[in-house]
């Protein structure tokens, strides 16, 4: 099993757009073989924060997702709504 937990920080005022993009990515990712969980959770104590939680059957299942070849959630639209962080550079 592989679990990933990350916190993304939206650019000021852009959290709704970031959440919308991440939820669309969530819908695609949940159809990937081996993806067991993908949650997008706004943080109550951080106005621009968004918590991501992902669980895959294995590290190989995570590497084989289309996200590894396309990275659709971190397209220019997503980068425009989120500040760069270590969590986004994996």
Q: What is the pLDDT of residue 80?
A: 61
The residue range of the domain holding 85 is: 2-89
**What tokens were used for 78?**
């997503």
Claim: this prediction has a pTM higher than 0.75 = no
pLDDT 10s digits, 24-80: 889 988 998 999 999 999 998 888 889 989 999 998 888 777 665 444 445 555 666
What is the distance between the alpha carbons of residues 63 and 66, in angstroms, rounded to a whole number?
A: 8
Per the structure, how many domains does the chain have? 1
Q: If pLDDT is split at 50, 70 and 90, which confidence band does 89 have?
A: very low
What does the pLDDT look like over 1-25, one tens digit per residue?
989 888 888 888 889 998 998 898 8
Any idea what the CATH number is for the domain that residue 39 is in?
3.30.70.100
């Amino acid at each position: 099993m592989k679990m990933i937990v990350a916190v993304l920080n939206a650019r000021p005022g852009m959290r709704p757009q970031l959440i919308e993009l991440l939820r669309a990515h969530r819908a695609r990712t949940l159809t990937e073989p081996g993806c067991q969980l993908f949650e997008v959770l706004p943080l109550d104590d951080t106005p621009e924060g968004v918590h991501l939680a992902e669980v895959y059957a294995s590290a190989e299942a995570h590497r084989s997702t289309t996200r590894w070849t396309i990275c659709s959630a971190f397209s220019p639209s997503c980068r425009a709504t989120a500040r760069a962080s270590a969590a986004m550079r994996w």
